[in-house]
Structure 1
Amino acid sequence: MTKSAPPVKKNQTVEVTFEDMTHEGSGVGKVNGYPLFVPYGLPGEQAKVKVIKVKKNFGFGKIIEFYNQSDERVDPPCDVFYKCGGCQLQHMSYQRQLDMKHDQVQNALKKIAHIDDIPIHPTIGMDDPWRYRNKVQIPVGSKNGELITGFYRKRSHDIIDDMDHCIITDETADRMVDAVREIANRLGISAYDETNHRGTLRHIMVRVGQETNQTMIVLVTRKENVPQLDKLVEEIRASYPHVKSVIQNVNAERTNVILGKKTKVLWGNEYIYDEIDGIRFAISAKSFYQVNPTQTKKLYDKAIEYADIAGDETVIDAYCGIGTISLSLAKKAKKVYGVEVVPQAVSDAKENAKLNNIDNAAFYVGEAEKVMPWWTAQGLQPDVIVVDPPRKGCDEELLNAMIQMKPKRIVYVSCNPSTLARDLNILEDGGYQTKEVQPVDMFPQTKHIECCAQIVLKV
């Protein structure tokens, strides 16, 4: 039996009522049961939509005009919101964003892990969901002989040249990008041209310590020897005393990867410092450090609550990074073992432990799924395991290693509800039970959601 063709054609105009949203924030409407995904549509709204792509089971559309609008719709405060794509949700109220992210977690757990009988708490949001990012990486280009900086337009490498600030980025970082661009332009430092692989300045990266206001500027250049670079550094030093570090990163490759392998200090320190919950962290140009420390504290507080540490526990942090969670846990636990595949991160974690006079945390380089069975063979028996994996989730070997170790509790910090749900399935089959999940909005105005799950060994 031949399946009927889709009820719409490309470039056709249709009337749609949005019934739902995708996890990326697009509205979902149906034409004779056929789903259309339409950016910026909100549930309950009716709109005239142009069909721009047709697939077998679903299509994509573009709003031409609204017939009615949701009470949750707001005017995006960013002038380039519809061009940029760095944020996806500024067109909806902040409460609607929080509700959408909660629903995303709930749906993933129900559909993928078949878990629908546990508390999934309301998303923890921010009092002020703007200007939270402590790190920005801005590409540099040229127009009419002048340097320009700005994010790329959606699905392109064209710089938005009328963008003079980013309202989810720390204001100090914003100002420093502008300052570096203006000084570099005056000194005749050229922008990198990725088409011809010529020119010099590729990106300006700025990191700011939220608690300390210490600022690091990283100049990403195509070559190491850059005329006038010393004068650029002098002007920054003279005008901006909060800048504690100016770094050059050399990236000579034809690549979309921002940072190259070689990094050197042009002036000041290799690190700036910041604090989360009284723990001080040294942050280098390449350190992984959460971009929203305000929400990071809320997330880690929940992770520590779920770890339920009384004081005599042994804890493993299986993706320890520079020790952000490990050191918080070490304030309460008897011993913390951190493992991380990136050697520089482990080196930073050890330095951060020294910086805070924490001597009950030990850090090791390696893949957790390989190190943990070795620890088991040495007789290490953790009471709690904490994992905070990348978006792809935990390697199945690691999940099996955790199951073999039989800790009383597992705390799973996730930045991807789908892979969290997949991994919870495996842990539940291995004798564990998911007790509750707490979503935390680490990235307001964007589609991303972080959450923390408490998992306990079945008795």
Structure 2
Amino acid sequence: MTVFAPALDCGYHRAGLCHSCTRIDDAYDAQLARKQLGAEAAAPGAAWLAPHASAISAFRNKAKMVAGGTVDAPTLGILDGERRGIDLRACPLHEQPIRDALPHLAALVTDARIPPYDVPERRGELKHVLVTASPDAELMVRFVLRSTEAVPRIAKRMDALRERIPGLVVASASILPEHKAVVEGDVEVPLTDRQSLTMRLNDVPLRLRPGGFFQTNSAVAAALYREAATWIDEVDPASVADLYCGVGGFALHAARPHRDVVGVETSAEAIAGAIETASAMGSSARFAVGDATAADDRTVDAALVVVNPPRRGIGALAARLEASAARHVVYSSCNPATLARDLAAMPSLRPVRARMFDMFPHNDHAEVLVLLERR
């Protein structure tokens, strides 16, 4: 009998400290096969391409670290069952620049005397430290705080912190006073002059601002955008509407001089980043803040519509696309279950091609790209 080794040997997992990677004990080929079966079940009529695999370690471009412990012994990682901090600074999933930066960020907590937030006691200041790495090894760091009380102490130490973390180019404080299970607040206090991180994928310099969404795996995201752009160029629509466009990844990869491209997204920060990128590229792609599900009929009637919704899927937008004039839809889904539901609500749009992109190794999540064509 063949015995397959685990995909990744993680000390935190072996010690029982972290259970986030629910499939880490499975061989990576087995992980891919399982995800491929789940993806194919969502769009059984499509011609399925081979899955796009990921690196099995150092692939995550973003660390969402919960602050715990004490001022003199802070932890950056997760909380245990009693809501106390477990330190995961050496998590092997994170890109190396993030792993290199986390000890310095923990040291700042002590140096600036920022009390980590104690969830059971509901006291303290620092809730999370969010770190994003660009493909060029630049970093964005966000300190999620209950108030602005510690901001002057952090600001005073920014020059020294940037000396210790040479790639640090964007820093801010996100203010979250409420005791609730969210990662960031509504108020952002800049700590550096620069407030956008350049995420260069396939020579498209996407701008990510604090609060903007970006795929967690840069290498696989680049492959996802390349594939979508290839499919779009093959059908060569005169107009493209990118709904749930985020920082404009699909729209800016699909933009061509002869093509009218528009992106819609609820996040003002993401749209600001998309506009900044379009300007830098000299692209005619346009972007607007708005609810994708309530996009105007002219947008939904574009020759090709791209949808990249959150896990809940596109909901009522499916019926509007079914009744629209769109000849093609490119659907990028992070949830095969809601993808299957949405495809069933668009029977006139037939799945013709699909591919699974392993954006999230070691768990059951998968990104699925499907090209739909009107019958």
Choose from 159, 184, 203 the match for 1:234. 159
Per the alignment, residue 119 of structure 1 pairs with 47
Aligned to 2:23: 89
* CA apart distance, 1:371: 2.3
The answer to whether the 8 Å contact 1:372/1:401 transfers is no
> In the alignment, is the contact (CA less than 8 A) between 1:250 and 1:262 conserved in 2?
yes
Q: Distance in 2 between matches of 1:245 and 1:121?
A: 38
What code does the residue aligned with 2:86 have? I
- Give the superposition deviation at 1:146: 1.7
Q: Is 1:296 paired with 2:214? A: no
Q: Within 5 A, what are the aligned runs for 1:410-421?
A: 410-421=329-340
* Corresponding residue of 1:131: 58
Structure 2 residues without counterparts, runs of 5 or longer:
none
Deviation at 1:178, TM superposition (A): 1.4
How many residues align structurally? 372
AA of the residue aligned to 2:20: G
Letter in 2 for 1:142: G
Amino acid at match of 1:354: S
Match of 1:100 in 2: 34
Contact 1:84–1:152 (8 Å) recurs in 2: no
Residues 37-186 of structure 1: pairs in structure 2 closer than 5 A = 71-74=3-6, 76-81=8-13, 82-109=16-43, 115=44, 117-126=45-54, 128-142=55-69, 145-153=72-80, 157-161=83-87, 163-186=88-111
Q: What are the equivalent positions in structure 2 for 1:274-289 lying under 5 Å apart?
A: 274-289=199-214
Larger radius of gyration: 1
Residue 406 (structure 1) aligned with residue 344 (structure 2) = no
Q: CA deviation at 1:223?
A: 1.5
Distance across 2 between alignment mates of 1:192 and 1:305: 47
Q: Deviations over 1:340-398 (max 9, x none)?
A: 22333223222221121101x1222222333232x27xxx85221111111111122x1
Alignment partner of 1:197 out of 119, 122, 127:
122
CA distance in 2, matches of 1:120, 1:258: 36
C-alpha separation between the residues in 1 aligned to 2:111 and 2:291? 47
State which of 427, 434, 437 in structure 1 corresponds to 2:351: 434
What is the percent sequence identity of the aligned residues?
Answer: 24
**1:310–1:332 CA contact under 8 A, matched in 2:** no
The one of 392, 415, 435 equivalent to 2:312 is 392
Alpha carbons of structure 1 residues 145 and 369: separation in structure 2 relative to 1, 3 Å: closer
Cα deviations across residues 177-219 of structure 1 (Å, max 9, x unaligned)?
A: 2111123214432211122222222211111111x22112211
Structure 1: runs of 5+ lacking an equivalent = 1-68, 110-114
Aligned letter for 1:78?
C
Superposed CA offset, 1:398-421 (max 9, x none): 122222223221111111111111
| Partner SS state of residue 83, structure 1 | coil
**3-state SS of paired residue (1:246):** strand
1:169 Cα deviation after fit = 0.5
Q: Contact 1:99–1:122 at 8 Å: present in 2 too? A: no
SS in structure 2 of the partner of residue 267 of structure 1: coil
Q: Where do residues 370-381 of structure 1 align in structure 2 (5 Å cutoff)?
A: 370-373=294-297, 375=298, 381=301
Highest RCO, 1 vs 2 (Cα 8 Å, sep ≥ 6): 2
Query: Using the alignment, how far apart are the partners of 1:452 and 1:306 within structure 2?
Result: 10
TM-score by length of 1: 0.76
CA deviation after TM superposition for structure 1 residue 326, in Å? 0.4
Alignment CA distance shift 1:242-1:118 (3 Å): closer
Give per-residue Cα distances to partners, 1:240-288, cap 9 Å, x unaligned: 2221122111111111112111111123411121211111122112111
Residue 239 to residue 268, structure 1, CA distance change in 2 (3 Å) = farther
Call closer, same or farther: CA 1:140–1:356 in 2, change over 3 Å. same
Following superposition, the deviation at residue 143 of structure 1 comes to 5.3
Give 1:294 deviation, angstroms. 0.7
CA–CA distance in structure 1, aligned partners of residues 336 and 127 of structure 2: 34
- 1:160 is displaced (CA, Å) by 1.9
Structure 1 distance, partners of 2:268, 2:250, is: 17
Q: SS of the residue aligned with 2:296? A: helix
Q: Aligned partners of 1:233 and 1:408: how far apart in 2? A: 52
Give yes or no for contact 2:255–2:283 (8 Å, CA) kept in 1. yes
CA distance in 2, matches of 1:332, 1:84: 49
SS of the residue aligned with 1:202?
strand
Q: Is the 8 A contact 2:83 2:120 kept in 1?
A: no
Partner of 1:48: none
Q: CA deviation at 1:292?
A: 1.1
Cα distance in 1, alignment partners of residues 357 and 129 from structure 2: 29
Q: Distance in 2 between matches of 1:344 and 1:234?
A: 26
More deviation, 273-282/308-317: 308-317
Shift of 1:423: 1.0
The answer to whether the 8 A contact 2:71-2:116 is kept is no
Answering whether residue 342 of structure 2 is matched by residue 423 of structure 1, we say yes
Q: Secondary structure at the match of 1:336?
A: strand
The residue number in structure 2 matching 1:456 is: 373
For residue 84 of structure 1, report the CA deviation from its aligned partner.
1.4
